[in-house]
Structure 1
Amino acid sequence: MSPLRRTHATCPYCESTDVARLYLGSVHLDSCECSACGARWDEDPATGAFRGRASRASVVVPREGTG
């Protein structure tokens, strides 16, 4: 699927729709994680535009083993 046709809550890496999203109002981003492939990324909440890939140590996405 081309990036222009990707919809909100669709993984840009595996195209799964099994995606968890967390809106972060202070930075106006959706922080996303794909349950199918484990990818993490940030996107614009209004347009769905890809804004970057979150690292495992990102403060935006919780680290594994915490919670």
Structure 2
Amino acid sequence: MLSQYMEQIETLGLNLFFAAIFFFIGMAIHDVLKQGNVPKFGRFIVWLVLFLGCAGFIAKGIIQMSWEGSGIG
């Protein structure tokens, strides 16, 4: 039974790994911004860039799932 779902388990594990990496990157950036006394505008720009990176990754996953579901990919 496990061998039937191996590809799905690998995909889920990889997505969880990337989510954990984004979380740890966010925590590291938060720590650097806090210790560096960065102004609010600078913090906003840094978090915006990080959010756009995460949003792009999520959009890629959604597009990939929809294409695979329709038989394109």
| Higher-strand-fraction structure | 1
Q: Structure 2 length as normaliser, TM-score?
A: 0.20
Which is bigger in relative contact order (C-alpha 8 A, separation at least 6)?
A: 2
TM-score (norm 1): 0.21
In terms of Rg, which structure is larger? 2
